[in-house]
Chains A and B, each alone.
Chain A
Amino acid sequence: MRIGHFHLLLLGCLIFSSCSKPPPVAREDHPLPDGIDTARVEPGRRGGVFIQSVPGEPSTFNPLVSEDATSGGFIGLFLDSLTRYNAVTQEVEPGLAIRWDIGKDNKTFTFHLRPGIRWSDGAPFSADDVLFTFQAIYDPRYPNRSAFDLSVEGKPFRVEKVDFLTVRITTPEIFAPFLEYVGGVGILPKHRLEPAFRDGTLQKAWNVSVAQHEPETLVGTGAFRLRSYQPAERIVFEANPHYWRADSAGVRLPYVDFLVTKLVKDINASTLAFATGQTDAEGLSPDNVAWIERFAKRYDFLVHNRGPSPNTGFIWLNQNPGQDASGKPFVQPHKLAWFTDRRFRQAISHGIDREGIVKGVLFGRGQPLWGPETPANKKWYNPNVTQYPYNPARARALLAEAGFRLGEDGKLRDAKGNLVEFTLNSNQENQLRVNMATVFKENMRDLGITVNLAFLDFGTFVGKIQDSFDYEAGLLGLTGGGDPAGGMSVFSSKGRLHQWYPNQKTPATPWEARIDELMSLQLRTLDYATRRKYFDEVQKIMSDETPFIYLVTANAYVGLKDRWKNMKIPPLGSLVWNLDELWTVFTP
């Protein structure tokens, strides 16, 4: 039968195609530049493909458009910056600039670029590219995130070219996170993007369509360059033959030939891809660790505990004294009186069994949290904040002191006889939060407080927090970590995410005024010790006053195939910090 033969042939080809290997790769060889950076790692061997999967889809490859972490991650692979932020040590290291001088006024930074570096298409890299990048960022035609991060009170930095390889940047005021922020600005190739910049189409440059059809036009200085992009399927990066780092044996990095990212629908699909041995690295949530570890032997991987994650979880009570357009107060006045009473908030904090939440909700993979930073943020975490261990007796004492009375029926009433009852909102999509809210409700019942739970769609909830303010209490999380400057919108009383009472014209309480003062003080010095002192006090005040009643922080986990060497896992941020230094003895 002819058809039968054809089927056999087809089957044979399928088996062949499913296990065929990429052919050996001939890599372009270019002489190393004078300004080469020598990696301080054990020299490895070239070759291999690193495979990862990412839930979702990059929305763009243009840093002037990107707002989401997924796109930002891919952009970071092919665009490097003047400095680079070492996520393991949390220090700023040289990037495209080999060194920099800081002027006496602490506002002038002179960057000396690495000589001889080339873009991934072979064109020389120079100070003009840096100038062009900042020009594009500050251009009002292209509103973007960096323009706001890289200015002080609305005033942009002054960027000047000193010579072919020297750039001077002056900040209008002393700006503490300057070097770290500059490390987040991917330098753009002027020779490629200038035409688009001139005719006003820069935001349309390097979009997903361009990446699909002309990947070679996405030129960068990073370890990798784009080879192909198939929407909703995969992104393939290849080693950049002009990369500016090499190992001590003079072999240009990165060692891996290809970096393949599988684009999957959601986080579950991504986790599953790792658990079935398809990918090399994956961030894992605490509730998945146990079952995934069962596959570790079969697929030769190991689950590493990164320690506490930078994610905070907290409950807050709405302290907004305002009223809506019809004159109805956002929070009923007698409830507002409870919520603004520090003793009430502290009593609630003492009434929460955080150890129980860690055990019951996180399967023991987490720890109680007392302040705005988690231990993951080694550089800024203050361990000496006020703690509120589980102590219902202490909670009842605080409530009694604040005038609350426990009735015969086991229900708590305030001095005027109002039943203490409020509704806690959270978003329904996050199961861990839903579980935490349930534990909280039980804990509060022991104090005689009735908590009603209402789980909302994320969009509705954010609308309540930021626009309509008509709610009583909320449970949410924020990702912390990084420089204190990133927390401005949370801590500052003018802030948008100062959730218990956002957008204040003048600080409502003396302690909020003090936080405002400390937050602006820490921005205006480059001295780490001084900044640290200010930010420690901010964390202490936050824990004393407990506008946010912090709950727990989950541990972060990362699964990694055993075959990779030189792997450095940072406590926060990307899974693998040094993709360019990874190497393997096995080819896939």
Chain B
Amino acid sequence: MTAFILRRLGTLVPMLLAVTLLVFALMSLAPGDFLTPVKAQRDINPALIVELQKSFGLDRPWYEQYLRWLGNILRLDFGYSWTYKVPVAELIAQRAPATILLSLCSLVLAWTLAIPLAVLAAARPGGWIDKITAGAAYFALAIPEFFLALLAVWFAAQTGWFPIGGLTSLDHDFLPFGSQLLDIAWHLVLPTLVLGLGGVAGTLRVLRANVLDVLRAEYVTAARAKGLPEKVVLFRHVLRNALNPLLSTVGYAFAGLLSGSLLVENVMNYPGLGRLVYEAFIREDQFVVLGSVMVGCTLLVIGNLISDLALAWSDPRVRYGR
């Protein structure tokens, strides 16, 4: 087992190398660089620009910049943001909590809504619950996330029931602690719905199929024959067995914790990592972009690993190693 985990983590190294190399090459191919907006200002001395280029290493060819960056990474130095003059790790840590909060909320929403609905839908295939959930799920899957986010912003602006973007109100600092929490919860409603709806739909469809499969098993017939109430049959016997394949999607959810909400954050003005990364891309703030790409890749690999391990733990037929 340990060998398996180590081997998996070992694949991270070539993958990170390839991805960062690609990102670096693409960024240097893109027109302009971090200093382009500075160059277009009329009262900036040319000597300062040369000075800044030197201090950022932008006067060197891109492969040399890449190798230097790589050298620093080996010493666990992820560089600092040119825009903010703050170490990249610190900057990511500063913005990550808001994003993780949003992702977790939408994940919880997806699972708490999808699981009971899927079981109920599968209990009577073709029944009204099944028809409605299927229709809603196709609808939710068909609408792109950013468009849903736009709709949500429009809805908030029209009704005034929810705040337009952000995570806290303007007077947040002046509120007592309890109201501060409620303030955050109130701001989270719309982004959570927007981000979670796609998840609800996807999980629902997968789980429904699994439940239908399990329902045909002999032990379900046995349970029913014993005279167990249908509720107990469905939720205690069927659901437990049907959940197994869903465990493998947990890994993907983990990978999406930090990077999944980029579009929604940008449309809904949400103060998380997505906005930071997007702005860093636009400004070509190299180290921030590279840092976030690395975090995303690492999470993806670790997430996959976790779901494989979870599968082995829950299903005795799956074994790794050797």
Contacts and interface: CB of A to CB of B under 8 A. Distances in A.
Interface of A: 10, 13-14, 16-18, 20-23, 51, 57, 59-60, 62, 65, 67-68, 143-145, 147-149, 154, 203-204, 207-209, 212, 227-228, 230-234, 236, 260, 262-265, 269, 272, 276, 278, 456-460, 462-463, 466, 478-479, 482, 486-490, 496-497
Nearest to B40: A462
Nearest to A206: B85
B51 A486 contact: no
Contacts of B166: 233, 262
Contacts of A232: 95, 271-272, 275-276
B163 to A, nearest CB: 8
Contacts of B266: 265
Contact of B168 (A203, A208, A230): A230
Contact of B271 (A22, A145, A230): A230
Interface in B1-46: 30-33, 36-46
Nearest to A13: B182
B91 interface: yes
A459 B36 contact: yes
B170 A20 contact: no
Q: Which of B45, B169, B275 has the most CB of A within 10 A?
A: B45
Nearest to B32: A459
B94 A212 contact: yes
Contacts of A463: 31-32, 36
A248 B273 CA distance: 49
Given A14-B182, A23-B174, A490-B42, 10 more contacts: A67-B38, A145-B48, A207-B84, A208-B86, A228-B173, A232-B95, A233-B167, A276-B164, A486-B42, A496-B46
A496 to B, nearest CB: 5
A143 B48 CA distance: 7
Contacts of B90: 209
A60 B84 CA distance: 6
A233 B183 CA distance: 14
Interface residues of B, number: 55
Contacts of A486: 42-43
Nearest to B180: A17
13 contacts: A13-B178, A17-B175, A17-B179, A20-B175, A57-B279, A60-B84, A148-B48, A209-B94, A230-B271, A234-B170, A463-B31, A488-B43, A489-B42
A269 B165 contact: yes
A207 B186 contact: no
B32 A489 contact: no
A207 B86 contact: yes
Q: Which 7 A-B pairs have the closest CB atoms?
A: A459-B32, A232-B271, A148-B45, A460-B31, A22-B174, A17-B179, A486-B43
A207 B95 contact: no
A214 to B, nearest CB: 14
A18 B85 contact: no
B83 interface: yes
B171 A457 contact: no
Interface in B266-322: 266, 269, 271-272, 275-276, 279
A457 B32 contact: yes
Contacts of B47: 148, 154
B29 to A, nearest CB: 12
B182 A262 contact: no
B71 to A, nearest CB: 21
A297 B41 CA distance: 38
B157 interface: yes
A18 B169 contact: yes
B86 A209 contact: yes
B48 to A, nearest CB: 5
B271 A17 contact: no
Contacts of A265: 165, 266, 269, 275
A231 B182 contact: no
B32 A458 contact: yes
Given A209-B91, A209-B94, A233-B167, A16 B32 contact: no
B305 to A, nearest CB: 31
A458 B35 CA distance: 12
Given A17-B182, A269-B165, A459-B32, A466 B170 contact: no
